[in-house]
Amino acid sequence: MCRDYLRPALLIFVSIAIGVVGWSGYVLLLPVALGFPVLWSIARTRSVAALVSTGYFLAASRGLPQGVAAFYSSDIWPGLLLWLCASLSFVTVHTLLWTMNARTRPFRYLLAAIIMSIPPFGITGWAHPVTAAGVLFPGWGWWGLWFLTAGLAGLATRIWQAVAIALTGFWLWSAVTWTDPKLPEAWRGVDLELGASLGREAGLHRQRDMIASVRASADGGARYVVLPESALGFWTPTVERVWTGALREGDATVIAGAALLDAEGYDNVLVAIDGKGGRILYRERMPVPGSMWQPWRSWFGESGGARANFFANPVVSIGASRAAPLICYEQLIVWPILQSMLHDPDLVVAVGNGWWTDGTSIVAIQRAAATAWAKLFAKPLVIAFNT
């Protein structure tokens, strides 16, 4: 009887450890997440597969309760509730698709991986093991993605040990030769440490401080300067005039986060500003569900919340370059970056406003994921975060 419980308990414990280590925020540890399909496949019952999936996902997203509590200035309970709700899609998909049939199991896992990569389930498709493709196969592009996808299916077969050994070999070679994505020439990402005030305190004094940061970067030779999500607060004609006037004497272009408000809600955007004026460069495809994207408001005739522009503007033109923009939450899920890469951009621009994640590994995970995707497709990477 004891043995009947020992094996499931061990699988659950190991799944939690894999979630913690694989999603610790260190890019070279992302391949640890490849242990999940192994544990899922060797579970002997559907209920154990469900518990393994739950342990992995909750461990990987462990920073969410604390982050939500900080965001809403509340106690931990709302964060715990959102944490559990967010796990439902991942756990449900992997539980329903689990099977005892060894022949069909790899195809079932492959189907689960695809479902968790695209909407609607992919909306909360965090901690996807395929993110590790950029670590195992840097520069391989779509071939690297296909190879790892095949590897994930292979890890759900009876010969998973051989597949694991092969993938570990690629992992070790990559770790020995690893270099971070290069920064594009004449580009700079400006990290800020302004906490919760960024985007909320948008007075003239704050705008002038950020203009000074941009000028310092421009004086260092940067032609394109990237500021974090929400850096400009609300995008208004007044804000545009202030920045346009400040940039009129040089040739620098600023790419910065802002919110574009209307009667029905708002768009979380990136704007491009130079001495000639400003324009909306990018509208976020997938805002944070719950705290930003609240589609249920429209069901009850209410307004508010951020719009999700799901498959809009996957690449944007900035000067002579084409960029793949990723705002905050988009760095944690799969389909936005893959949609952008279908258009073969010249670089990746990743911005975020992670003040509410203080004390968690969320921002580090976002940076690691963006780095891995940029390495997979051999694209230069510009990152700008506020903490």
User: pLDDT tens across 186-239, in order?
Assistant: 999 999 999 888 877 767 888 888 888 888 887 788 899 999 999 999 999 999
Sorting pLDDT into bands at 50, 70 and 90, what band is 181? very high
User: pLDDT tens across 229-279, in order?
Assistant: 999 999 999 999 999 999 998 889 999 999 999 888 999 999 999 999 999
Q: What beta strand segments (E) does the chain contain? A: 187-189, 224-226, 253-262, 265-274, 277-283, 316-318, 321-327, 347-353, 381-386
Helix axes 142-154, 160-177, angle to 10 degrees: 140
Cβ distance 67 to 356 under 8 Å? Answer: yes
Tell the residue number behind the tokens 């690629």, with chain if given: 170
Over residues 117-125, mean pLDDT: 94
Checking if the pLDDT of 3 tops 70, the result is: no
- Sheet of strand 347-353: strand arrangement: 316-318, 321-327, 347-353, 381-386
Report strand pairing: 321-327 vs 316-318: antiparallel
**Distances 387 to 142, 329, 364 between C-alpha atoms, Å:** 33, 15, 11
Checking if the pLDDT of 74 tops 70, the result is: no
CATH code of domain 187-386? 3.60.110.10
Token code pair at residue 302: 């209410």
Over residues 374-378, mean pLDDT: 98
User: pLDDT tens across 303-362, in order?
Assistant: 888 999 999 999 999 999 999 999 999 999 999 999 999 999 999 999 999 998 888 999
Cβ distance 225 to 198 under 8 Å? Answer: no
Domain limits, the chain: 2-177, 187-386
Query: Which pTM was predicted?
Result: 0.95
Cβ distance 54 to 94 under 8 Å? Answer: no
Over residues 287-310, mean pLDDT: 86
pLDDT at 203: 77
Over the chain, what is the mean pLDDT? 92
Evaluate the CA torsion angle 122, 308, 338, 71 in order and state its sign.
negative
Checking if the pLDDT of 72 tops 80, the result is: no
Sorting pLDDT into bands at 50, 70 and 90, what band is 138? very high
- Judged on CB neighbours under 10 Å (0-12, 13-18, 19+), 270 is buried
pLDDT at 213: 83
Cβ distance 239 to 202 under 8 Å? Answer: yes
pLDDT at 207: 86
Checking if the pLDDT of 73 tops 70, the result is: no
Token code pair at residue 226: 């990237």
- The residues facing 262 across adjacent strands are 265
